[in-house]
């Protein structure tokens, strides 16, 4: 998966964002042991590493957005919730890597 800034076209960028959201959804579902095992068994080398990497790329994009928010903008008020969302995603990846 490419990052949004590496995408060659708008279509490719939109595809990457969709892929990122799917990775986050799957990562959240993998907090359940049975789903995590079933998912791991379907991935290359029976490893969740590709899922972790995809989630981390998506989180890095969100972190970048967090950094770009302007305090004078209305987004600043929404930014705190956005930062909390990014932090929650980071915790999900960390728990999954630790074996939850």
- Ordered by start, the domain boundaries in the chain are 10-97
pLDDT at 79: 55
Contacts of 87 (CB under 8 A, 6+ apart): none
Give the separation between CA 29 and CA 33, rounded to whole angstroms.
9
Per-residue pLDDT tens, the chain, 100 aa: give them. 444 445 455 555 556 777 888 999 999 999 999 999 999 999 999 999 999 999 998 888 878 776 766 554 555 555 566 677 788 888 989 988 887 5
In 3D space, the residue among 39, 64, 59 whose CA is nearest the CA of residue 49 turns out to be 39
Name the percent of the chain in helix, strand, coil, to the closest 5.
80, 0, 20
What does the DSSP assignment read for 37-57?
HHHHHHSGGG-SHHHHHHHHH
């Amino acid at each position: 998966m490419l990052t949004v800034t590496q995408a060659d076209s708008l279509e490719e960028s939109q595809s990457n964002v969709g892929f990122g959201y799917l990775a986050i959804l799957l990562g959240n579902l993998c907090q359940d042991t049975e789903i995590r095992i079933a998912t791991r068994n379907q991935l290359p080398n029976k490893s969740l590493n590709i899922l972790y990497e995809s989630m981390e790329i998506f989180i890095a994009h969100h972190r970048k957005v967090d950094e770009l928010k302007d305090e004078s903008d209305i987004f600043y008020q929404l930014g705190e919730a956005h930062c909390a969302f990014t932090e929650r995603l980071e915790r999900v990846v960390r728990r999954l890597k630790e074996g939850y």
